[in-house]
Amino acid sequence: MSDTLLFGHDGLARAIAVAFRAAGTPDDTALAIADMLVDANLSGHDSHGIQMVKYYLDCQAQGGLDAHATPRVFDESGAVVRIDGGRGFGAVTGAFAMQHGIANARKNGVALVALANSHHLGRIGRWAELCLESGMVSVHFVNVWGHRPLVAPWGGRKIRLGTNPICAGMPATANHPAFVLDFATSRVAFGKVGVAFDKGEVLPEGVMMDRDGAMTRDPGAMVDNEDGGALIAMGEHKGSGLAVLCDLLAGVLTGNGVGTPERQDGDTTINGMLSFVIDPDALGGFAAMESEIEALYDWVRSSLTAEGHDAILLAGDPERIAREDRMAHGIPLAAAAWEGFIEAAMLQGVTREALEQAVSSS
Ligand code: NAD
């Protein structure tokens, strides 16, 4: 196991913004990226936090990402909003898409937001949470291409699919926090393989095959190994089917395109996202729904726990618990992950001292 360091979230965000400004990213975009990445660390998803900085900077340098892109609505007709992200940062395109979806849903009761051609949208739960801030229910399907596929279809041992995530959010009630279900359709998101690699840890059983189709717990079988293995789809044939559904909805319907070999041989990440944004006011108002929602949560939580579990959690609980803990006590990072960030930022001409000062100044 490698050493772990503790960071305050504000300092980490300042340091990330310094790195992107040095790379020529506009100031408001640099701040949006820093906020998105640190929020992922705060919510416990280190795979989608500061660890992404080096990757984003590489994509920017190689032209797989346009730091100056402005997303645009190219068609809005009734409840349908079609957006081209221009290969811009997901921190910008995701927020833009949700703002349009929320405004449209207020008008029409429901909005269908088709976002194509976005760079990596990060933790998709962030976009459901943005909808929740406006009292909106939402469902999101995302597809992924721009780099080699990572997931074998059920029954196969060769990579064909992206980790295509699915997400949904339901607002908090008087007595229960918001429900935010957000998961990759692979057993684990690929970033978690990188986190395990950095920490010198092995993976859980049953999440990855090596290049010959044998199960492995070694993250090195896929990290820094272009000829490597494959992630396993969650839920066997069901997760594999959901991953294909994500390509159909977020790839075909949005116009983003699906993951096929000619789109999977680059070094970037392109996400399409099809989002349903629903205004509960159009369905009788959220207040009238709260007692049903609470009855469901109470019933589910009342189950006796199974061996190895302390409590019944609902989706969104782990992220909320992590956020409370990390806001209060700091964000733990593997020393290797911090050094990886420093090296990536220094390549942009920033000094180690400037980054350390950004992290520690208040
Ligand atoms: P995960 O396996 O940690 O599962 C997360 C979901 O399960 C959350 O909704 C969480 O609240 C819930 N959960 C976790 N433990 C629980 C428990 N004990 N009881 C009840 N619910 C529980 O997540 P993952 O599949 O590894 O995905 C991680 C992140 O990666 C997600 O935020 C996803 O959006 C993101 N991702 C992004 C892309 C992209 O291209 N942008 C691709 C893949 C994944």
Q: Which domains are delineated in the chain?
A: 1-62+330-362 (1.10.1530.10), 71-186+235-322 (3.30.1370.60), 193-232 (3.30.60.50)
Q: At what angle do helices 125-133 and 27-42 cross, to 10 degrees?
A: 100
pTM of structure: 0.96
Across the range 21-34, mean pLDDT stands at 98
174 CA to centre of ligand 1 in angstroms: 25
User: Which percentage of the chain shows pLDDT scores above 70?
Assistant: 99
**C-alpha angle 310/312/317, rounded to 5°?**
105
**Minimum-distance ligand 1 atom for the alpha carbon of 189:** 26
Diameter of the chain measured on Cα atoms = 56
What one-letter code names the amino acid at 271?
A: N
**Atom 9 in ligand 1: which residue has the minimum CA distance?**
181
Instruction: Give the pLDDT band (50/70/90) at residue 204.
Output: very high
Q: What is the CA radius of gyration of the chain?
A: 20
Per-residue pLDDT of 101-147, as tens digits, reads 999 999 999 999 999 999 999 999 999 999 999 999 999 999 999 99
Per-residue pLDDT tens over the stretch 234-254:
999 999 999 999 999 999 999
> pLDDT by residue (tens digit) across 343-356?
999 999 999 999 99
CA–centroid distance, residue 304 to ligand 1 (Å): 24
Atom 24 of ligand 1, nearest CA residue: 183
pLDDT in tens, 258-289: 999 999 999 999 999 999 999 999 999 999 99
Q: State the pLDDT at residue 195.
A: 82
For the CA of 144, the closest atom of ligand 1 is 40
Centroid of ligand 1 to alpha carbon of 236 (angstroms):
17
Which token pair is 188?
């684990």
Expressed in angstroms and rounded, the spacing between residue 163 Cα and the centre of ligand 1 is 11
CA–CA separation, 97 and 99 (whole Å): 6
- Among the listed ranges 46-55, 150-159, 186-195, which one has the minimum average pLDDT value? 186-195
Measure 246 CA to ligand 1 centroid, in angstroms.
15
The per-residue pLDDT for 42 is 98
Answer yes or no: is pLDDT of 80 > 70: yes
Residue 126 structure tokens? 């962030």
Atom 22 (ligand 1) nearest CA: 315
Mean pLDDT, the chain, integer? 96
| Cβ proximity of 71 and 97 under 8 Å | yes
Site to substitute for ligand 1 among 51, 182, 313, most atoms within 8 A of C-beta: 182
The residues lining ligand 1, judged by C-beta closer than 6 Å to any ligand atom, are 45, 48, 120-125, 142, 144, 163, 165, 167, 180-184, 188-189, 192, 269, 271, 313-316, 318-319
The alpha carbon of residue 128 and the mean position of all alpha carbons in its chain are separated, in whole angstroms, by 11
Q: Are 168 and 181 in contact (CB under 8 A)?
A: yes
Q: How confident is the model at residue 223 (pLDDT cuts 50, 70, 90)?
A: confident
Q: How far is CA 120 from CA 30, 108, 271, in A?
A: 15, 29, 6
Query: What string of DSSP letters covers 201-248?
Result: PPPPTTSEE-TTS-B---GGGTTT-TT--EEEBTTTHHHHHHHHHHII
1, pLDDT greater than 80: no
Task: Tell which atom from ligand 1 comes closest to the C-alpha of 44.
Answer: 3
Mean pLDDT of all residues in 46-56: 95
- In angstroms, what is the span from residue 151 Cα to ligand 1's centroid? 16
Q: Find, among 19, 15, 14, 12, the residue nearest to 348 by Cα.
A: 19
Q: How far is CA 3 from the centre of its chain?
A: 26
- The CA 23 to ligand 1 mean position distance, Å, reads 30
**How large is the average pLDDT for residues 170-186?**
97
Residue nearest atom 10 of ligand 1, based on CA coordinates: 315
Q: Which of 194-198, 317-321, 340-344 has the lowest mean pLDDT?
A: 194-198
Distance 182 CA to ligand 1 centre (A): 5
pLDDT (0 to 100) of residue 250 = 98
Assign 362 a pLDDT band (cuts: 50, 70, 90): low
Residue nearest to atom 32 of ligand 1 (CA): 123
Query: How many Cβ atoms from other residues are within 10 Å of residue 68's Cβ?
Result: 11
Which tokens sit at 167?
A: 């997400």
